[in-house]
Amino acid sequence: MKIDGIIRGWYEKNRRDLPWRHTGDPYKIWLSEIILQQTRVQQGLNYYLDFIKVFPDVNSLALASEDKVLKQWQGLGYYSRARNLHRAAKDVVEQMEGEIPRTYDGLIKLKGVGNYTASAIASICFGEPRAVVDGNVSRVIARLYGVEEPINSTMGIKSIAFLAHELLDKDDPGNHNQAIMEFGALHCVPHSPDCSTCPLFHPCEARRTGRVDQLPVKIPKRKPVEQWMYFYIIICNGETLFSKRGTDGIWSSLYQFPVVESNLPLSEEEMLGTKLDQLIRGADYEGEEERVPTGISERVPPGKSERVPTGISERVSTGKSERVPMDKSEGVSTGKSDGVSTGKSDRVPTGISERVPTGIRSLWPDKLTIGKISDPIRHQLTHRTIHARFIHVETGTWPDPLPAGWIKISLEQVDDFPVPRLINRYMEVVKI
């Protein structure tokens, strides 16, 4: 039996019962493939079902506001996927009379649709003989044929693509593609696969040469950048403040509490004094030109060694901390994460209110009272490690006007805004 036939036979016996396998609707296949690009099936399934309920077709998605789409996507991470999907849906409705392209060449032109997604939709929905290549497929093929080039190198990508096309069942490309992806996801797994029960035991080059744990070869990813973020949850008469992030960088177009961003940890004096002063004034580090205060980035002088302020543990509660649960959406680490105190409020040392800089008092009409301060929370993204702290602040009066870029919202409306998963998880644990 040919290799593609062996994989198909395995698939018929072992495939998971997933909703997108019971439809030929290109919109639903498109959505499922976008969700599963960076999300495991177990987590993505509920998001898919919920998304379909709210946006059952391309027209309903195209007519929705970006905020509503991002809110529905909240928790999946990699929000550019949602923005691109939304933009592409608008293009389909406005420029293609609501008809999703039926060919690879048409699909590849849609915003956010690359080779993998276009091949999946074209083969599954329209029978076009296009081989899909994702991480699961690359692993199966690299082991099966003993591909020694790194699968994320230019030569490796070309080699895998060529072999995937050679292996493709041209008469039934949709089922073939789903079968090999499923085989990689469930059987030919990254670590310690069960080769003794593998239907490809005999033709597998990696098994024959004892290199199953060495293949596929990958070029190591760069070390994530360290970043510190200090979110100020300012409460006044049942309202709080949000700002909207720009269109560049992480979490673009999402909402957040006013934030100070730094590539070094801040001291207590900076966190509760000078940086808070700069944030309210809308001025950047060391008096640089004024800007909208969605955050303040502190630059590290060349060659300056990283410093960690002493006494951080003394500034927060030493009581029992409840851990914020993390998963791998948007690259979040599933390992141990730093705690968020949910018990007795973490009080700043007595007299901190009097140490709020005089510049803040001149800008703010009422006293700012520093309340609870969270423990550091580690939030792992693909290319950066974020260390976040949430500082709870209370005041009796809002300044008029508010600093540029800030908006007042009722505490009851907070859940209506799309926010990064880091903030959403914190609010799930610590009610504001």
d(CA 100, CA 229): 41
Tokens of 356: 């709020």
Among 108, 403, 411, which residue's Cα sits nearest to residue 240?
411
Q: Is 33 among the residues known to form the active site?
A: yes
The active-site residue out of 33, 182, 268, 270 is 33
The one-letter amino acid at 161? A
Do 65 and 82 touch, CB atoms closer than 8 A?
no
Task: Give me Rg for the CA atoms of the chain.
Answer: 25
**C-alpha dist (Å) from residue 252 to 70, 275, 405, 416:** 10, 23, 15, 17
Evaluate the CA torsion angle 307, 308, 310, 311 in order and state its sign.
positive
d(CA 88, CA 110): 5
- For 298-323, b/e burial (b = at least 16 CB within 10 A) is beeeeeeeeeeeeebeebbbeeebee
Number of Cβ atoms within 10 Å of the Cβ of 387: 16
The one-letter amino acid at 118? A
- DSSP three-state, residue 371: strand
Helices (H), 237-325: 268-269, 275-281
- Report the largest interatomic distance among the alpha carbons of the chain, rounded to a whole angstrom: 81
**C-alpha dist (Å) from residue 287 to 336, 352, 406:** 38, 24, 20
Q: Which residues are catalytic?
A: 33
